[in-house]
Amino acid sequence: MRKQDDNVNQSGNHSNKEPELLDLVHTVMHQYRSQQYQVLRDGPHDITHMESKVLGFFGHHAGATQSELAQHSGRDKAQLARLIKALRERGLLDGEAGADDRRSVSLSLTAAGQAVLRTLQQQTRRLNARAVAGFDAAEQKQLLALLQRVKGNLDNRP
């Protein structure tokens, strides 16, 4: 069987032109995310980017509520409710109803959720090191500064 190329992020233009800067940044992030979650796709937990963000939040804010996550992330409460429900059903998040208000549920990672988060964090460290392999400290600092400038330019809308 022939290997198929991933053409999701390929433009229709197949000339020899260098990719535009932000197209290249997008492609790099697509590669990064794909490799980041590959370690979990091969195991029992296939985690999406948003699910990892939810696990990360509750990993750092054990006992927080869905409302606190919504306030922190700026995401839609209904979307977060679906994510939290799915993570609870998969045994990655656990909840405890509040004593004063049974509708307010304090959420925290289960042991399985902590293991998934640790795996993601380890994979992130490996990928970060691999991504800048061969860069000296000054080059890494320069790359970071340049990307922060690009982000700042995009943050400042006209």
* 10 has a pLDDT exceeding 60: no
- Structural domain range at position 75: 21-131
* 2 has a pLDDT exceeding 70: no
Residue-level pLDDT at 3: 39
Asked if residue 88 lies in contact with residue 51, where contact means CB atoms within 8 angstroms, the answer is no
Contacts 24+ apart (CB under 8 A), 126-132: 127/32, 127/35, 127/36, 131/28, 131/32
Helix (H, G, I), strand (E, B) or coil at 8: coil
Residue-level pLDDT at 114: 96
Q: Does the residue 139 lie in any domain?
A: no
Query: Bigger pLDDT: 12 or 94?
Result: 94
DSSP single-letter state for residue 17: P
Residue 66 tokens read as 């869905």
CATH number at residue 38: 1.10.10.10
Q: What is the pLDDT of residues 13-35, one digit of tens each?
A: 445 566 688 899 999 999 988 88
Q: Does the residue 58 lie in any domain?
A: yes
Report phi then psi at 152, rounded to 5.
Answer: -60, -40
Q: Does the residue 56 lie in any domain?
A: yes
Q: Does the residue 108 lie in any domain?
A: yes
Q: Does the residue 5 lie in any domain?
A: no
Integer Cα distance of 131 and 135 in angstroms: 9
Residue-level pLDDT at 18: 60
Q: Does the residue 157 lie in any domain?
A: no
Q: Does the residue 137 lie in any domain?
A: no
Q: What is the pLDDT of residues 39-93, one digit of tens each?
A: 777 766 788 888 999 999 999 999 999 999 999 998 988 999 999 999 999 999 9
Residue 94 tokens read as 């656990």
Q: Does the residue 141 lie in any domain?
A: no
Q: What is the pLDDT of residues 123-144, one digit of tens each?
A: 899 999 999 999 999 999 999 9
User: In angstroms, how far is the first alpha carbon of the chain from the final one?
Assistant: 51
> How many domains does the chain divide into?
1
User: Of 152, 133, 128, 132, which is closest to residue 143 (Cα–Cα)?
Assistant: 132
